[in-house]
């Protein structure tokens, strides 16, 4: 049986994974949990791609963008292909583990597949440097027991990755095309029409979003920091990239850092680098650095970012190197930075510097006209005109009635899955998952009927209510009513509530 601490940690992990549909967060938190529970040297998590290849995605709680291993290569490829756990207590001599990359000090390794309904979405690798460590079926059972407790977030991640893997190649090509572009994107703000290359990345037909884009294009020409404020999944990161390509920095690097994807020490290195490793600020030199969910940063990192923005100099995390940089910072936040400043959770000076150029991105529920346009795009983004699918009126109505708490990202995930599953040309409401309608609380107006009541009776009611409220204290009641105590006694006498001798 697990002790109370581990059970609590597992429950917290389950909640965190359910609330964040992001593979970088998913794999990093999964590796962090099992490293904490096992206490071993390293816990790595590989993501299993749809084509059978694998990629190192996390290590000891930190997100890693590792190289892609071809199908069946390495221990991760073996476990993903066989769909069962494998452990070796002599990794250097084991033919299956001997050619996998790991620290020389590692003696034993256990790899367990993360699966849902027979589909492997990742592999967990627990590496030990202890010479007397001997993995067994008992260890496999313990890991699988924890994974069983995480069935719900694993299911959600599998559905998300099905669509994500299919779109990965297309997104890579589009990103490369965006970097190579030398002319500013063409976008007709007045009509909302775009050329086909622009529609791939940014869909906007609603008045509010077109106005937001117009503001963004104007601010893009000014070389100031920008704060994009909006709910999770509303399109802030895409708009941030667009601002980069609309600016004079478009030929420079555009670097994105997820501020929630790793712990403080790792994020410090990610941002500022260390000896022999360039950080994000240095990588973005001459271009743009996008800090996604900046409200998640610690005070220490906030201070370092502020110093870099003010002085144009970054100091590496190990204090070994100083680099002069010329970087435009675009930050995104999904919660009020102003409130965070009031609570002492965010540095006021950094907030003021970022907020001088503020763009609010409306949630999808306030951009009804964009829902259909986005849905049709996600439905057909990888299809020819002859293969295009069509949303029926009933399907459109169902999408429009939903309040989209996950915004564009949620819509994208649902429609891309439907695009894969539905074989026919038409997508009807029955093909869509259950979408809970937004509950609109209507204000109920109670009609007060007028009744003719003598002024004497109204006065009596008010006086008695005042006495009742003040526990019968006549001196306080008289003061509250604005009359003398003698007048109060006289009125009570007239109501027949006290004897003559009292008056």
Q: Quote the percentage of the chain above a pLDDT of 70.
A: 86
* pLDDT at residue 447 is higher than 70: no
pLDDT range class, residue 197, cuts 50, 70, 90: very low
- From the list 338, 365, 354, 355, the residue with the least C-alpha distance to 209 is 365
User: In the beta sheet, which residues pair with residue 194?
Assistant: 187
Residue tagged 């709910």 (tokens): 231
In 256-292, which positions are buried (b, 16+ CB within 10 angstroms) versus exposed (e)?
bbbbbbbeeebbbbbbbbbeeeebbbbbbbebbbbbb
From 6-10, 52-56, 165-169, 212-216, the region with the lowest mean pLDDT: 165-169
**Strand, coil or helix: what is 248?**
coil
Instruction: Supply φ then ψ for residue 438, to 5 degrees.
Output: -70, 130
From 16-20, 435-439, 455-459, the region with the lowest mean pLDDT: 435-439
Q: Residue 423: what pLDDT?
A: 79
Q: Residue 419: what pLDDT?
A: 84
- Per-residue pLDDT, averaged over 294-317, amounts to 92
- How does pLDDT run across 329-354, given as a tens digit for each residue? 999 998 889 899 999 999 999 998 89
- Is 466 in contact with 456 (CB distance < 8 Å)? no
Cβ neighbours of residue 413 closer than 8 Å, sequence gap 6 or more: 21, 159, 160, 163, 406
User: What angle, rounded to 10 degrees, do the helices at 407-421 and 368-380 form?
Assistant: 40
CA distance 54 to 78: 10
pLDDT range class, residue 182, cuts 50, 70, 90: very low
* pLDDT at residue 422 is higher than 70: yes
- Other CB atoms closer than 10 Å to residue 385's CB: what's the count? 6
CA distance 145 to 126: 15
Domains of the chain, each with CATH number or no CATH = 4-162 (3.30.450.40), 205-360 (3.40.50.300), 364-431 (1.10.8.60), 444-503 (1.10.10.60)
Cβ-based burial of 202 (10 A; exposed 0-12, middle 13-18, buried ≥19)? middle
> CB pairs under 8 A, 24+ apart, for 343-346?
345/295, 346/295, 346/302
Residue length of the chain: 503
* pLDDT at residue 190 is higher than 50: no
- How does pLDDT run across 373-404, given as a tens digit for each residue? 898 888 888 787 778 888 888 888 898 889 88
Tokens, residue 131: 């010479």
- Is 18 in contact with 150 (CB distance < 8 Å)? no
- Per-residue pLDDT, averaged over 407-435, amounts to 86
Cβ neighbours of residue 495 closer than 8 Å, sequence gap 6 or more: 460
pLDDT higher for 478 or 176?
478
- How does pLDDT run across 227-276, given as a tens digit for each residue? 999 988 888 999 999 999 999 999 999 999 999 888 999 999 999 999 88
């Amino acid at each position: 049986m697990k002790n109370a601490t581990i059970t609590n940690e597992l429950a917290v992990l389950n909640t965190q994974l359910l609330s964040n549909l992001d593979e970088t967060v998913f794999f990093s938190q999964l590796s962090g949990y099992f490293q904490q529970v096992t206490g071993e040297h390293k816990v790595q998590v590989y993501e299993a791609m749809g084509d059978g290849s694998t990629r190192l995605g996390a290590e000891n709680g930190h997100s890693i963008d590792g190289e892609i291993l071809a199908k069946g290569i390495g221990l991760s490829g073996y476990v993903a292909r066989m769909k069962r756990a494998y452990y070796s207590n002599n990794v250097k001599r084991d033919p299956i583990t001997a050619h996998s990359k790991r620290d020389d000090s590692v003696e034993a390794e256990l790899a367990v597949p993360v699966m849902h309904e027979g589909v492997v979405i990742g592999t967990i690798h627990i590496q030990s440097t202890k010479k007397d460590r001997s993995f067994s079926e008992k260890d496999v059972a313990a890991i699988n027991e924890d994974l069983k407790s995480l069935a719900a977030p694993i299911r959600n991640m599998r559905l998300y990755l099905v669509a994500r893997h299919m779109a990965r190649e297309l997104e890579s090509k589009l990103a490369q095309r965006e970097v190579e572009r030398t002319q500013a994107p063409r976008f007709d703000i007045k009509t909302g029409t775009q050329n086909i290359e622009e529609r791939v990345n940014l869909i906007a037909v609603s008045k509010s979003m077109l106005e937001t884009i117009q503001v963004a294009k104007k601010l893009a020409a000014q070389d100031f920091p920008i704060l994009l404020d909006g709910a999770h999944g509303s399109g802030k990161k895409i708009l941030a990239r667009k601002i980069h390509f609309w600016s004079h920095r478009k030929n420079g690097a555009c670097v994105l850092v997820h501020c929630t994807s790793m712990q403080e020490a790792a994020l410090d290195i990610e941002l500022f680098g260390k000896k022999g490793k360039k950080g994000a600020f240095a990588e973005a030199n001459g271009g743009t650095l996008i800090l996604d969910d900046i409200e998640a940063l610690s005070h220490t990192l906030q201070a370092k970012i502020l110093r870099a923005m003010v002085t144009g100099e970054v100091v590496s995390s190990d204090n070994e190197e100083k680099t002069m940089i010329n970087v435009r910072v675009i930050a995104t936040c999904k919660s009020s930075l102003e409130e965070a400043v009031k609570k002492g959770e965010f540095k006021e000076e950094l907030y003021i510097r970022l907020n001088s150029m503020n763009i609010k991105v409306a949630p999808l529920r306030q951009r009804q006209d964009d829902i259909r346009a986005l849905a049709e795009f996600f439905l057909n983004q990888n299809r020819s005109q002859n293969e295009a699918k069509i949303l029926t009126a009933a399907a459109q109505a169902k999408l429009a009635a939903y309040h989209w708490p996950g915004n564009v990202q949620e819509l994208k995930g649902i429609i891309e899955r439907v695009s894969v599953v539905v074989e026919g040309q038409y997508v009807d409401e029955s093909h869509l998952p259950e979408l809970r309608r937004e509950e609109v609380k209507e204000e109920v107006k109670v009609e007060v009927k007028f009744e003719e009541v003598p002024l004497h009776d109204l006065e009596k009611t008010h006086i008695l209510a005042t006495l009742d409220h003040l526990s019968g204290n006549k001196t306080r009641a008289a003061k509250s009513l604005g009359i003398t105590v003698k007048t109060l006694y006289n009125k009570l006498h007239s109501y027949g509530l006290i004897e003559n001798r009292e008056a």
